[in-house]
Structure 1
């Protein structure tokens, strides 16, 4: 079977609305040029549509016309590589999902250790930033929370106090193992993140050891974050103002 036939067969097995790239089609890099020509022919036939460079989708047909992939499916090719998660959503769209803000994100920001992309096609606008640690399926939820702590003063239409209440509630639901992992990842973040996480953990569970966070901080550094002591009673222990 020719490569073009193999590609067509694989795409025919995809459900409507699925996004995919070369890796999803199991195409070897040395065959990319041949594959690109085959994919171009399939676009002309209307079997697939191009979403951005190297990313396509199988349009879903309804009685109301053609539907584009849903939001989650549109993002998937940029968050995964060869079936493994390498990035996660951050920025305003994440903070909206965490209910920290009602602000609508006009551009989506994703964080990845190594991947760098920029998409500006129709309604899909994506920029990348460098993550502080390698991203996996096991840790990205923890990294989302650490990002929110990092940007606590920059989240639009949100007060630091309100954000602390929401984030404290989310962190309080984590298991002991997840808390230990979160502390480990926090050590790669800016000092204000380590201080905030330490204060939150100390406030919601004084049995958790925050020694590593405390030891990583300069005891003379103060963090002006605009958080009230009535909201986070442990701020004085972490030089947070």
Structure 2
């Protein structure tokens, strides 16, 4: 099978709306120059479209014409490097997806430890923020959840009390492995995150063995100001939350 046929078959298996680059194709680096010419021919045929240098997509064909990939798919290439996740979407856009706010974000935030990722391309706009840990495929959802705890007083169109209730319900559904992973990364976050997570876990009846690392990490003289009282979360006093 020649290279041109091979590339066309690979792209043919991609779903409409899929964004891809050279690393998504089963080719060697030595073939990149030849593949560039093949991709140019496919563009001329209208089978693929160019999004940016080295980034292409299969247009979504509808009765009303061709559509670009959806917003999440457009963001995806910025979250990976050489096939490895290095970043995740956070801020209001994420908190909307978590059900914490109905407000939509005009600009998203992209968190990464190793790279500063900003976007200003048409409707696609993003600001770079630094993540508290190296981002991987196995931890990015946990980091996003902890971001929500960190920003709980800043989440728009809601109250701290309402957000605590929603996040508590989500934590209650997690298994011990997920909770252990969350505690591991919470220890890298500010005291307010550790305290709020500890208070929620204690209120959910989790054992001291689980919450002790969080409690030991907090200065007993530090007051965590979140605007919560015992009627909102019965365990707040044990974690110096006011």
Please classify the TM superposition score into its range, dividing by the shorter chain length.
0.7 to 0.9
- Structure 1 runs of 4+ aligned residues shifted over 6 Å read none
Report SS of the residue matched to 1:43: helix
TM-aligned CA distance change 1:23 to 1:72, over 3 Å:
same
Conserved in 2, the CA contact under 8 Å of 1:142 and 1:182? Answer: yes
Correspondence for 1:219: 220
Deviation at 1:122, TM superposition (A): 2.3
Deviates more, 1:60-69 or 1:47-56: 47-56
CA displacement, residues 117-176 of structure 1 (integer Å, 9 cap, x when unaligned)? 322222222333222122233322222210100001111112111111111111111101
Deviation at 1:6, TM superposition (A): 4.7
| Mapping of residues 85-234 of structure 1, within 5 Å | 85-208=85-208, 209-234=210-235
Conserved in 1, the CA contact under 8 Å of 2:21 and 2:56? Answer: yes
Report SS of the residue matched to 1:125: strand
Distance 2:10 2:164 in 1: 47
| Mapping of residues 4-83 of structure 1, within 5 Å | 6-28=6-28, 32=32, 35-36=35-36, 38-83=38-83
Runs of at least 5 residues in structure 1 that lack an aligned partner in the other structure: none
Distance 1:117 1:32 in 2: 25
Conserved in 2, the CA contact under 8 Å of 1:161 and 1:228? Answer: no
Aligned-residue RMSD, C-alpha: 2.3
TM-score, normalised by the number of residues in structure 1: 0.88
How many residues are aligned here?
241
Conserved in 2, the CA contact under 8 Å of 1:23 and 1:81? Answer: no
Deviates more, 1:41-50 or 1:27-36: 27-36
Deviates more, 1:36-45 or 1:201-210: 36-45
Distance 1:217 1:79 in 2: 33
Deviation at 1:185, TM superposition (A): 0.6
Distance 1:62 1:133 in 2: 41
Deviates more, 1:89-98 or 1:52-61: 52-61
Conserved in 2, the CA contact under 8 Å of 1:20 and 1:55? Answer: yes
Deviation at 1:14, TM superposition (A): 2.1
Runs of at least 5 residues in structure 2 that lack an aligned partner in the other structure: none
Distance 1:224 1:24 in 2: 47
Deviation at 1:66, TM superposition (A): 0.5
Distance 2:195 2:177 in 1: 20
TM-score, normalised by the number of residues in structure 2: 0.87
